[in-house]
Structures are given as C-alpha cells and as structure tokens.
Structure 1
Amino acid sequence: MKQIILNQFDMNTPGHIWPGFWRHPRDRMDYLDLAYWQSVAGIAERGLIDSIFFADVFGVYDVYGQSPEAALRAGTQVPINDPTLIIPSMAAATRHLGFGVTSNLSLEPPYLLARRLSTLDHLTKGRIAWNIVTGFLASAARGVGLETIQRHDDRYEVAEEYMDVLYQLWEGSWEDDAVVKDVATGLYTRPDRVHRVDHRGRHFRVDAIALTEPSPQRTPTLYQAGASTRGRAFSARHAETILISGHTKAIVAETVRDIRRQAQAFGRDPRDPKIVLGATIIAAPTTAEARDLYEDYRGHVDARGALTILAGWTGVDFSRYGLDEPIRHIDSPAAQSTLELLTIRSPDRVWTVRDLVAFEPIAGHGPFIVGSGAAVAEELIDWAAATDIDGFNFTRLVMPESLTAIVDLVVPELQSRGAFKRAYAEGTLRRKLQGHDRLPSSHPAGRFQRRRAGAA
C-alpha cells in the first residue's frame, strides 16, 4: 500500500484557516513563545509527521469591508510573525522533521531570498522546503511601496524568471568542492570553484556570486500551492510537493490528473510531484466523542474572521453579500483557485456566504473528517485511493490537542493498515520524500547545475 505523506499546516499567528480557536479554553497556542513551537515540533516528530508547513502572508486581509478592522478584531492572520525565525529552534529540538516555509517572490529580490533559504537549509541539515508563492494581497504590495499587485498570470511570468535566477545561485555559483578549509595553507575557499551569476532578464538583473556555500540540498525542497490553471502549470514544471484543495473526490481527482499530465509534458515522471491535499481532522477515541468535540470546536469559529480570509483569497468583498446570496465568479488579481472551486468547478452546487462560514467541508477546502482514529484513518486511505493524492496537510485547530490526537490516534491506525511509515528515513527532506538529496538533472534547475566529473 502507498505510504501516505502527513504534514501539519500551521502559521506564526493567532488565527489560521479557522480563526477564533485562540478563544478556546484548552488552546495552548502561543505564537510568541519558542518553547511552544519546540513542543509542537516534538509532538510532530513523535508521530513521524513529514513536515510542519508554515503558511505566511505579507500584508493584512482588508478586502472584507475595505478595511483591516474585521481581521484585526478576530486575530485573522494578524498580528503575524516571520516563520523563518522560529524554524532553527524547532530543528534543534528534532532530528528528522521537515519544515516548509512560505516566502513571497513578488516582494523581495531573489539574491536575498537565496541566502536566507540556504542558511535555513544549513542550520536544519537539509530539512527545509520553500513554498513558492507569488502573493495575492494588494495590501502586501502597498506595504513595500508598490501601487498594487500584478495580474495573476503576470505574476507567474515573473516567477518563471525568478526561479531561473535562484537556480543559478543555488546550483551554478559554487561547485561542490569549492570550500576546502585547508588549515595548513590558510585557504578556505578555492576562488576558481566559485562562479559569478550574470543574469540580465526582463524582470531581474543579477551580477554576483551566491553568498552561501552549497547547502545539503542546494536548492531547498520545492513546495507550491498554485491550483489555478496557470498555477498548476507552474507547479507541474517546478514543484516537488504540490499542495491542493478540493471538497469532493471528483474535483480532487481531476486536479491530480491534470497536474500529472502536465508534469509528464514537461519531461518529468508524472509520479515525481507529491500531491498533498488540505484536510480538517477531528479525532477522538470514539466517533461519539469526536462528534462532541466537533460541536465544541464549532462554537469557537469566528465566522466574520473566516470571511476576511476568503475575501482576501478571492478578491470578493463578502461584506456586500447577503448570507444566502450565491457566490459569483469574477476576474480578480487575487488567488483564483478558491473562487474557481466555489463557482465554475462546482457546477452542480450553488454556494452562498452562509456556506462559507460553516465549520464544514467547503469552508475547509478539503476533506472534513470527524471520527475515531480508526474511522479517520480509513477515510484518509479512501481519499488517497480514490483521488491518487500522496498525502494530507492537516489544518491547525485547537493546539496542541488536535495534533496530539492525530499523532496518538490516527497515525497508529494508518500504520496498522500499512499506509504510513514506522520510522523516518535518514537524510535530507528531499531524500525522505523523493529518494535523493539534490534536484535531478531532468528538473528545470538541471540546466544550471555545475558539477565536475565524478561529483555526486
């Protein structure tokens, strides 16, 4: 049976996908405390979770009501801190757990991002993944001095060149044997083994050497969450783990088929990209207890806070909608996949604003599973078999009890069915997920790789 990938989906902020749980009396989430983050990492590693995937946004959700007021009141992804700064302490408390970190390529030069991610890859001994995003919040663009965000597809055009620059810095600037640290001669780095990147493109100009020596993975493991038509093409070409949404098995299966088809068209093995589906899981010792837990959780979801997220994702100001007004598709520079999922990809169902704020599958954008550990495990296996996905991204709920329940109740049931590993593989995150430490020559980064004969 296929081994399922499991990620914990989290964020360095009080309110993530389901705003309001910071009010729950059992919630112990403290995003300002390193000890909290280390404890979460320890729980995840105890359950052999593949990675903690940190979402991030660079701006505030101010589409709803044309103001950040609703987001601020609910703690909806604001205040929010930099996830890259907590990862080294979490890595120091673990040995195998991977860390996916979101960084927006639309808001900083590739030269700076390359150094930061390489530094994280060194400090974690090769356990870093970069979630590639192009951004969707106009507030983020204004925060760095831009008038607004670029059009959706234009952002992906820029992203293609951005990736070329990063690949040159990560794969082509330093040779594997450039650093020698020869005490006798006083030679630290061989200058002839370090090469200048001279990129002169439409959107970027770089004339520099990379500032870091090659990290364990060179290029971090590449995550990407683009599910729009253009986003799928980008994912199929570049990403090693692709994060998708979908509230029905038919929609998810269609997305998976399209990504694998496009990956093959780009010359990749269609099984190479690992496709991971977002999911909301509530597990308890018995299904009756899980249903009680669901009712308990549901009373703490902040509906208005949830709408601020959806308004930001889609570019639709839902404060102007009635609760039972149908959601309509519009062209928006924001993230297109969510609005497509609610409209043109759901032709048999009319979704309303009331649906969007319910603590139910559509608002969770994926499987919404409530039950005993055994029942949850069976449902996860069924989703994987029916859709051809490779794993799941578990949305943060009440912490740490929600994660602990998955680790203690669901993971053993998956293991007993042969659907989840019983030990971590050794090595980097890429080796654990893909079977090798470095990107293969068949990847788009391959044309920039600089290796001497006989080098690994």
Structure 2
Amino acid sequence: RRAAEAGRDPAKILIFNLQTVILGETDALAKAKFEEYKSYVSYEGAMALISGWTGIDFSQFKPDQALENVPTNAIKSAVETFSSADPDTLWTPNALADWVGIGGFGPLFVGGPETVADLLEEWVEETGVDGFNLAYAVTHETFIDAVELLVPELQKRGVYKKEYTKGTLREKLFGEGPRLADGHPGAAWRNLGELNRGRQKERA
C-alpha cells in the first residue's frame, strides 16, 4: 500500500527475509546440532551485541530480571520489538542472550531438509516474501548444510533453480533489462551531469 501511495509498483519491490537455518539429515540431528551450538554462546558476548544494536546497556540488569518491568522508554521500545517475535516469552537478559546468540534478530528454523523447506514455503505463502537471505550460525558449516541438504529438497519441489541464467542480478531478479526502468525514481539520476548543469542554470 505504501509503495503504491509513493507511486511505485508494489510488484517491483522485492522483499528478502533474514533467516537462520540449522540443518541436519533428520530433525533429531538438527536439534542436536542446535543444542551443541547453544553451548558455545557467550552470555557477555550476546549482551554486548544486543546493547550495541539497541543502545541500551544491558549489563545494568540482572540476568533473570524481567525487562518489561523496567521503567524506561528505551527498554519498553526494545521489549515491544522482542515481543513481536515471541509474545509468549518473558524477556530477561538471559532470554535475550539465548535468542540473539544464534541467528540474531531474525527467525530461526531448526530441522531436517523437509521440515525447513516446509517452513520456508509456509513463510512465502503467508507473507508474500520474495526470498531469503540466509545468515550463518557457524562458518562455513551453515552454508555447506544449506547447499548439500536444503537446496536439493527445494529443487525437488521446483522452488529453487537448477542452473544459473545469464545476465545481471537485476535481470535475474526482475526478468527485465540490466538498468532501472524509466519509471523508477532512481532513473532520474542517470545523467548527473545534465542534472547539475540544469541546477546551475536555475541558480544563475
């Protein structure tokens, strides 16, 4: 709606969601891997990370202190953000550390190839998201698992390419030419030289 109000074609604006996936050959193996990853999460590191993101010094709170009871607007705003991800969670610094320790603020899927593929397709169907930007939990294991386990399952379902197509990224995403369409707001800035000369004449 907002895109249309701004004169843009909503179909020409693609949304890619941040997504972390923990994969295993089976759901049980994926969950075991997730638990192993969690054992390496640093509470202090997670608190430093989220303090940097929010501008709130979380070291001032006790690990099990309920953040919703802290009388500051900054905390209230942050808790509203956390609550939108999981409204049933009582948010404490410990809970935040568990959440951002793997995957950051993005959604986290844990499971075998079929389970994760089901979840990704469900997101596409329910939200209309155009794709996913996969974040890593462990370099390079996360991406190896995605290539070896998830991609074949998605290809089997016909929702992931089996070969690369020629052209620029813009052509691959939109199926059009390599440059911005004439109706795109950015197209007005193609010839900066002429724009600058026009502005100079106006000032004169």
In which range does the TM-score fall when normalised by the shorter chain? 0.7 to 0.9
Counterpart CA distance in 2 for 1:344 and 1:359 is 13
Instruction: Indicate which of 427, 430, 433 corresponds to 2:173.
Output: 433
Letter aligned with residue 107 of structure 2: P
Amino acid across the alignment from 1:280: T
Structure 2 spans left out of the alignment, 5+ residues:
193-204
Superposed CA deviations along residues 240-279 of structure 1, whole A, max 9, x for unmatched, are xxxxxxxxxxxxxxxxxxxxx2111111111222111112
The question of whether the paired residues in 2 share the 8 Å contact of 1:374 and 1:409 is answered with no
- TM-score normalized by the length of structure 1: 0.38
Query: 1:290, 1:371 within 8 Å by CA — same for their partners in 2?
Result: yes
Structure 2 counterpart of 1:304, from 31, 39, 44: 44
Distance in 2 (CA, whole Å) between partners of 1:386 and 1:361 is 27
RMSD: 2.7
Q: Distance in 2 between matches of 1:422 and 1:312?
A: 40
Q: What amino acid does structure 2 have at the position aligned with 1:441?
A: D
Mapping 1:230-379, distance limit 5 Å: 261-327=1-67, 330-331=73-74, 340-342=80-82, 350-359=90-99, 364-379=104-119
Rate the CA distance shift 1:349–1:287 in 2: closer, same or farther, 3 A: closer
Deviations along 1:292-328, one digit per CA (max 9) or x if unpaired, are 1111111111221111111111110000012222335
The structure where strand makes up a greater share of residues is 1
Alignment of 1:200-219 (within 5 A): none
Residues 121-176 of structure 1: per-residue CA shift (max 9 Å, x gap): xxxxxxxxxxxxxxxxxxxxxxxxxxxxxxxxxxxxxxxxxxxxxxxxxxxxxxxx
Higher helix residue share: 2
Query: In structure 2, how many angstroms separate the alpha carbons of the residues matched to 1:331 and 1:338?
Result: 6
> What are the ranges of 5 or more consecutive residues in structure 1 without an aligned counterpart?
1-260, 452-456
| 1:419 maps to 2:159 | yes
Q: d(CA) in 2 for partners of 1:362 and 1:397?
A: 6
2:67 alignment partner, SS class = coil
Question: Identical aligned pairs, as a percentage?
Answer: 38
Secondary structure of the 1:274 match is coil
Q: How far is the alpha carbon of 1:350 from its aligned partner?
A: 4.2
Normalised TM-score (structure 2): 0.80
Q: Within 1, Cα distance between the matches of 2:148 and 2:110?
A: 15
Distance 1:361 1:300 in 2: 9
Equivalent residue letter for 2:140: P
Query: What letter corresponds to residue 26 of structure 2 in structure 1?
Result: T
Give the conservation status (yes or no) of the 8 Å contact 1:314–1:339.
Answer: no
Q: Does the aligned pair in 2 maintain the 1:357–1:363 contact within 8 Å?
A: no
Aligned length: 187
